[in-house]
Amino acid sequence: MLNLKACIFDLDGVIVDTARHHFAAWKKLADELVVPFTEEDNHRLKGVSRVDSLEYILQKGDLVLDSATKLRLMDRKNMLYLNLAKGTSPGDVLPGIVPLMDEMAGLNVSIGLGSSSKNAHMILDKLNLTSRFDTIVDGNNITLSKPDPEVFLKAAQAMSVTPQQCLVFEDAQSGVEAALAGGFQVVGVGHGLEDAHVNYGSLKGLTLEAILKQLALA
């Protein structure tokens, strides 16, 4: 991949470990609804929007609710999540992210965010990372949730690059599928993301140069 122009990062699970807060909040809500909710369920919900995550839980519990109740439950989950995430600080940026962003900036590679979360701006502010992004596309800007590629296509468009000129960093199966569907090169972060072009357990100590070398061999 010689013509790299931009990198697009997922937020939860790639830049910061807020995925555990999403899990804890959904688990509490599911417990209140007496619906079983496991780590395996949570794994499937990574990258999935708030509304689609709720629908998954309701379906699992065979619950049919009116839209006002669903809105109330989503608000409750978000309140639980915000309460857990409120202490997020720059020290919570996952290892490897800041050096990678420094390297990208030095190479004039644009940096975008492609997150399903409606809380992305708030979390990036708490991490002190907002100013590093050329574009931020999040759950407030999209109509279709991952695995639809909309979030990444919008980010690429905002940076005036084609998907073929972009690398996407993702920790979720739904996000890897979204990026592949959009025609992006994908770096999987974490385990079990075999469909990504390259895959790392963590970004700690990685350089963009090393990733590009491995992509060329993949």
Q: Which of 12, 41, 150, 177 binds ligand B16 (CB under 6 A)?
A: 12
Taking alpha carbons only, the member of 1, 4, 10, 214 closest to residue 109 is 4
Question: Does residue 138 bind Mg ion (CB under 5 A)?
Answer: no
Q: Which of 10, 41, 150, 177 binds Mg ion (CB under 5 A)?
A: 10
> How many Å from the N-terminal Cα to the C-terminal Cα in the chain?
11
Rounded CA-CA distance 69/214 in Å is 48
The conformation of residue 93, written as its DSSP 8-state character, comes to B
Identify whether 12 is a catalytic site residue.
yes
Identify whether 62 is a catalytic site residue.
no
Rounded CA-CA distance 50/91 in Å is 26
Q: Is 135 helix (H, G, I), strand (E, B) or coil?
A: strand
Residue 61 beta carbon to Mg ion: minimum distance, rounded to whole angstroms = 24
Residue 36, preceding peptide bond in cis (omega within 30° of 0)? no
Taking alpha carbons only, the member of 76, 48, 212 closest to residue 144 is 48
Count of residues in contact with ligand B16, rule CB under 6 A: 21
167 binds, among ligand B16, Mg ion, none (CB under 5 to 8 A by kind): none
- The answer to whether the beta carbons of residues 190 and 96 sit under 8 Å apart is no
Residue 185 beta carbon to Mg ion: minimum distance, rounded to whole angstroms = 17
Binding positions for ligand B16, 44-73, rule CB under 6 A: 45-50, 53
Q: Which of 88, 115, 173, 185 binds ligand B16 (CB under 6 A)?
A: 115
Stretch that binds ligand B16, among 10-18, 161-169, 181-189, 191-199 (CB under 6 A): 10-18
135 binds, among Mg ion, ligand B16, none (CB under 5 to 8 A by kind): none
Give the gyration radius of the chain's Cα atoms. 17
Active site residues: 10, 12
* Sites of contact with ligand B16 (CB under 6 A): 10-13, 19, 22, 45-50, 53, 78, 115-119, 139, 172
Which residues lie near Mg ion (CB under 5 A)? 10, 12-13, 47, 171-172
